[in-house]
Amino acid sequence: MHSLMRRAWVDIDLGALLRNATAIATQARVPLVPMVKADAYGLGAVRVARTLERVDPWGFGVATVPEGEELRQANIARPIIVFTPLLPGDFDAAVRANLTPALGDRVSIERWVEAAGDRPWQLGIDTGMSRAGVQWDEIDSLRDLLANHAPEGAFTHFHSAERNDETRTRQEERFAAAIARMPVRPPMIHAENSPAVEHSGPSRWSVVRPGVFLYGVASGNNANILPEAVASVRARVVELRTIHDGETVSYGGTWKASGDRRIATLAIGYADGYRRAFGNRASVLLNGRRAPVVGVVTMDMTMVDVTDVSCEVGDAATLMGADGGDCIDLNEIARIGELSPYEVLTGLRGRLPRRYLQSEV
């Protein structure tokens, strides 16, 4: 048994990742700025970025300076935008790593110009997210700075692009109005995240910023394109036991056997990102058959009822992904745990090794 797969691990299909990126690029008809923040949503930023080089992206998006530094240390040379506002201590490090900050207030812009001179930066414009950036109707307050130190790009972020209502249209109108009031129109303008691209045709802007679609999550609501699954989570059976009628499983005794039951212990728990919320609710796949999770998920181990499933110690259970003709997809897991799919992916902890697979592209 390969040492990587002794206990539990994440399989990452790089071919599916690349096909998802190609689908987004084909739909948008402009270059991509793939979001590889949060370690590429938990799947490994460096390996993901290297794979996505094949779609010739404009650059990459991260949330922090250290995330950008990691890509630079891996010799990723394309532009890297840091989308979370910089703290005062971040500016010099951003300059050293040749990172492009997203700025949205006078003090930050002035600080960047002082630290970086004429190095590129991008203007964040808040059109309704109320998170970061200059408010769309206050763009005139920065007019002098924008005239003397023009940004390379300007962008906004949709808060509900997956909804079939007027919110995206309202934000686009606000964004266009703010752009029109800038003294110089930036050469690069962008707005669309994954849901926005899924639900539209070719982009009206310069680039698009796909995130979770790349990693296998669809927004639903009659999207025009659908992603392939990228990540699967697997864990070994490390013990098997038979318990009798009335006996309980795990902390609090929340699950009680009805008759004799065969219980398998899997070497994965909430310290690996398999949430306590999945206890008594989720299922796993073992040798192509479903087995329910029984009792509370513990820090390092999860128990499943395999009374009707043939399995032995050392067999691999699939907690998310396909096995045989069945599949437990990311959306199903998220729904069971009352979580966002983003939370499930980014919650997969570093204790789980990543095994990168290259399916046919």
| E strands in 282-343 | 283-286, 289-292, 302-305, 316-323, 326-328
Cα separations (Å) of 91 from 66, 72, 82?
12, 16, 11
Q: Which residues are catalytic?
A: 37, 251
Instruction: Give the mean pLDDT per block of 10 residues along the chain (361 residues).
Output: 76 97 96 97 96 97 98 98 95 98 97 96 95 95 96 94 82 95 96 89 93 88 85 97 98 97 98 97 96 98 97 97 93 94 91 87 54
φ/ψ (deg, to 5) at 108: -65, -40
Lookup: tokens for 308: 């009707």
pLDDT at 64: 97
- Full-model pTM: 0.93
Identify the burial level of 244 via C-beta atoms within 10 angstroms of its C-beta, where 0-12 means exposed, 13-18 middle and 19 or more buried. exposed
pLDDT at 6: 86
Q: What's the pLDDT at 163?
A: 76
Q: Which two tokens stand for residue 265?
A: 């212990």
Distance of alpha carbon 32 from alpha carbon 200, whole angstroms? 15
pLDDT at 154: 98
CA distance 9 to 274: 11
Yes or no: say if 162 and 155 are a contact pair by the CB < 8 Å rule.
no
The pLDDT value recorded for residue 23 is 95
pLDDT, position 4: 59
Domains of the chain (ranges; CATH) run: 31-215 (3.20.20.10), 231-357 (2.40.37.10)
DSSP string, 1-68: --GGGSSEEEEEEHHHHHHHHHHHHHHH-S-B--B-HHHHHHT-HHHHHHHHGGG--S-EEESSHHHH
Q: Give the chain's end-to-end CA distance (angstroms, integer).
A: 27
